[in-house]
Every structure is written in structure tokens, then in C-alpha cells.
Amino acid sequence: MIRTFLSKCHLGLFLILTTLLFISQQASAAPQTLIAAVVERNLVYEAVGTIQPRMTTTLSSKVTGNVLEVLKREGDSVSAGEILVKIDARDLASDLAGAKAGLSEAAAGLSELDRNRQGALANKEQVLSSLKLAESNFQRTKELFDKKSVSRQEFDQAQAQLDGTRAQLKAVEAQINGIEATRSRIGARMNQAQAGISKVETVKGLAEVAAPFSGRVTARKIEPGMLAAPGIPLLMVEDDSNLRLEAIIPESMIASISEGQVISVGVDALGSDFFNGTVAEIVPAADMLSHTFIVKISLPNHPRLRSGMYARGRFIIGSEPVLLVTRKAVEERGQLEGIWTPNETGRPAWRLIRTGRTFEDQIEVLSGLASGETYLSEAPGEHTERK
């Protein structure tokens, strides 16, 4: 009998706990009453565009010749100054050797002239000394001749010695002038030869095409054995460390955008994540046909970003009041949308509303509900009344 009594007690306790659990679940499942509120939301304009490198260049040769080597392919990274293409420059090497030989020959001739010039200058010094002596001797002889102290023959000999010394001085000066003229001509030829050497060395250096900056090869347009010439593209290189989004903005929105503004940028190819970008430049002139501006947004380094990708930029251009309710509270019936609100009697009633934009787990109400009104967080179990 005692065992039967205990069994009945356990059964009664189990029924009581089950009833309390059911009541608790029913209470938690009941929809909550919420208050519709107006909040300030940012006005966002989403612009589309493509990702472009800040710097890009098409490399071409400045000399004509066959391509010996192309050291990089599409997608390869390059460093500033790294040799990318080598062009056959054997003809330039022979021209350089000829120009250097001509320069050496001219330099040898100039050295010989300098020695002759030094000898002529020394000879001129001796002639000047002789001239000074001849002039002194002539002056003394002339004074004696005027006094009838010397013969006419001695006077004529002094005059002849003076004239001969003067003629000798003129000959030495003419020799020196000739040497100087020849030296000037040889110097001009040496300068010309040196300029030719510099030109050939410069052109020979151009036979190796180097990267102007660090980046990545995006196009390879030539192969070994092909002819390279000025104006023919060889490789295309872009600076992949400084990519920018070039967004197209209508002129009605451009006044709300400023340089330095931080915006959200999304790339569809990289998923749904957005990352920050900074407005680096606003092109001051609008397109005359589309009446749009190009805004360039600097992007952070990302290993998967590539030029030419489609991207979207979200610009905050202001704020506006928005009436929001939870998305679960909106019930769709065909093409109609409604929300449950308690009426005067406290019973829930379904009310037609018109919705707008969606913000995460909330939705904008355009009409049918006012700020401060209450609504149910979700549809009740029984639909009893409709407004």
C-alpha cells in the first residue's frame, strides 16, 4: 500500500512539472509587443566602377633590332630597374669600337701637336731675345753711323740683322698660329668623336629594356626572334601596390563627396565583405554626354585584388529619418504586406502597410504605421480581426 501511494505521488509530481513546462513554452512563444520608432539612418549612394592601377605603362624599344630574350611573362612581379627584354646590339658595338678608335687617333695627333707647340714657344723666346739684341745693336750702330764713326757697310749689316730677326719672329708666330688652328680642329674632331661614343653607348644601353617601377607584368606582346622597333609595344607593366577604384558619380551627387572621405568598397569577385577606401582624387571635369564625374578611391593592399575588377563604392551623402520595424513582424499575404497591431480591445488585428528598404534584420515602413504605435514582433496564433 505504501509503494502504491509513492507511485501515485511521483505521477502527480510529473504531471505538475509537465503542465508548468507547457505553460512556460506557451508564454515564451507568445509574440512580444514592440514600439515602432523613427531612427536616423545614413543616406548611402552606391556607385559602380572598375579597379585601375595608379601607374601603368607600355614598354617599347628605342632601338631597332631582333629580340634576344624576354625575361618575364604575364603575372610575374618585377622590380624597378630590373631588365625585362634584351635586344641584339652587335651593330652598335662595332660602331662604338670605330668611334673609340677615331678618338684615340685624334688624341695621339693632339699630343704630337702639343709637343710641337712647346718647341715653337721655346723657339719664339729665343727669337725674342735675339730681336732685342739686334735692335740694341742697330740703335748703337745708327748713332755711330750718324757721327760718321762706322762705315755704311756696318750700318747695313746691323739693319739686315734686325730685319732678319724680325722675319724669323714672324715665321715662328705663324708656326704657332698654325699649330693652334690645327689643335682646334683636332679638338673639335675629338669632341665629335666623344659625342658619338656617348650616343652609341646610350643607344646600346637602350638595347636592354628595364622596368620603370616595381609592379606586375599584365601583357606580353613580343617573343624572342621578333623585331623590336620604336613604337612597337613589348610589355605592359602596372603598379599593383597602388590600386584605385574609379567610380562613376552623377553630377547631382558630386557636391556631397570630398577628398579624404572614407567609404566602403565591395568587390563582387571577393565575396560580400566590404573594406575601407579613401577618396584620393575627384576629376574636375564632367563627361559632356553622361554628365558624370570620375572619383578615384585609394584601396588597401589585398592579394586578390586585380585591375579591371568590377567594384561598388558606398558613399554617405547625408542622413534621413526612417521608421523601422523588425522583419519578422511583417507578414506577406500574396502581394500584400501587413503587420499585427493590438486594437482597442487588446486583441491583435492585421493592418496593411507598405515597406521600403531593408536594413539587416529591420525593414522600412513607408505607410500604414506611425511612430510610437505598437505592433507584435510576429504573427499571433489566431487571426481574429483585420484593419
Cα(299)–Cα(357) distance, integer angstroms? 28
Higher pLDDT, 179 or 212: 212
| Neighbouring-strand partners of residue 266 | 274, 312
pLDDT at 23: 43
Helix (H) / strand (E) element for 107: namely: helix 90-146
Q: How far apart are the first and last CA of the chain?
A: 62
Average pLDDT for 119-144: 83
Average pLDDT for 355-375: 87
Cα(12)–Cα(5) distance, integer angstroms? 11
Average pLDDT for 107-132: 80
* Predicted TM-score (pTM) of this structure: 0.54
Q: What is the pLDDT of residues 283-331, one digit of tens each?
A: 999 999 999 999 999 998 888 888 889 999 999 888 888 898 988 889 9
Q: What is the pLDDT of residues 184-232, one digit of tens each?
A: 877 777 777 777 677 666 666 678 899 999 999 999 999 998 998 888 9
DSSP SS3 for 351: strand
**Domain spans of the chain, in order of start:** 45-54+239-319, 57-85+207-237, 90-203
Strands (E), the chain: 33-35, 37-53, 56-60, 65-70, 77-78, 83-87, 208-210, 215-220, 227-228, 233-238, 243-250, 262-267, 274-282, 292-298, 310-326, 330-333, 336-342, 348-359, 362-367, 374-376
Instruction: Extract the C-alpha cell encoding 291.
Output: 554628365
Domain 45-54+239-319 fold is Elongation Factor Tu (Ef-tu); domain 3 (2.40.30)
One CATH from 2.60.40.10, 2.40.50.100, 1.10.287.130, 3.40.50.1100 for 57-85+207-237: 2.40.50.100
Computed over every residue of the chain, the mean pLDDT equals 82
pLDDT at 62: 84
Cα(172)–Cα(177) distance, integer angstroms? 9
Burial class from Cβ neighbours inside 10 Å (0-12, 13-18, 19+) for residue 374 reads exposed
At residue 246 the predicted structure's pLDDT band, cuts being 50, 70 and 90, is very high
